[in-house]
Each structure stands twice: as C-alpha cells, then as structure tokens.
Amino acid sequence: MAKRILVVEDNDLNRKLFCDVLRSQGYAVEPCADGLDALDKARQFVPNLVIMDIQLPNVSGLDLIEAAKKDPVLRTIPVLAVTAYAGKGDEERIREAGAEGYLAKPVSIGPFMQAVRALL
C-alpha cells in the first residue's frame, strides 16, 4: 500500500512539482490549493504525511499546523513545513507550532525527498 501524502500549497507550479515528484516515487498524493480546505481534506484522505506551505492566502500554515496537532485524528500525522520566508527564528517558530520537518524554498528535489522519507 502506497504511503499517502497531502500537499497543501497555493502556488500552482510548486504544488504540481511536489505532487509530480512524489507520484514518481510511488506515493499516493492529494493536492490542496486552499488552506481553508486542508484540515477537512486531511481528515478525509488520512495521509501519512502533510507537506504544508506556511504562506497561504486566508489562513497561515502555522495556524493549520497548530490546529492539526490539537485534532485527535490528525495530531499523529507528521508535518513537513515548506516556506519561502526562511528568516531568523522562523524554523524555531514553525517547529514550536508542531512541524516535524522544515525546508526553505526554493526546494531542491534531493533534500525534499530526503525530508519526506525521514518523516515517513
């Protein structure tokens, strides 16, 4: 049974790239463009990993991670946070919200897949 990954990313190109790379590695992937749908999608899809963009329209990826970690169904699912805003203290803040992994954009395929495998 293929591992399931939910990709929460509002940028069409990044979302397609992440999904294509993950599918090419044999993962079952569910894309999600709108953070407001992310938690509902996660409950329906029940992924083994969530890849979460931090800068989303309408809702912060940080808030979504915190909400997921308080949800009895979602709290055990590891989160890989991906952000273009890799400033001082950002990784610490993202990990404090509950993310198990962190990558700064632009993301290279090698480190991306390494982080995915480490969390699965």
* Total-model pTM: 0.96
Place of tokens 């950002």: 90
pLDDT of residue 88: 79
Cross-strand partners of 51: 7, 80
Cross-strand partners of 28: 4
Question: Is residue 52 a contact partner of residue 64, using CB atoms and an 8 Å limit?
Answer: yes
Question: Is residue 56 a contact partner of residue 32, using CB atoms and an 8 Å limit?
Answer: no
- Per residue in 93-116, pLDDT tens? 999 999 999 999 999 999 999 999
Domains in the chain, ordered, with CATH?
A: 4-119 (3.40.50.2300)
Phi, psi of 103 (to 5 degrees): -135, 140
Residues 6+ apart with CB under 8 A from 112: 18, 21, 103
Q: Is the pLDDT of residue 1 over 90?
A: no
- Per residue in 24-70, pLDDT tens? 999 999 999 999 999 999 999 999 999 999 999 899 999 999 999 99
Q: % helix / strand / coil in the chain, to the nearest 5?
A: 45, 20, 35
Q: What is the CA radius of gyration of the chain?
A: 13
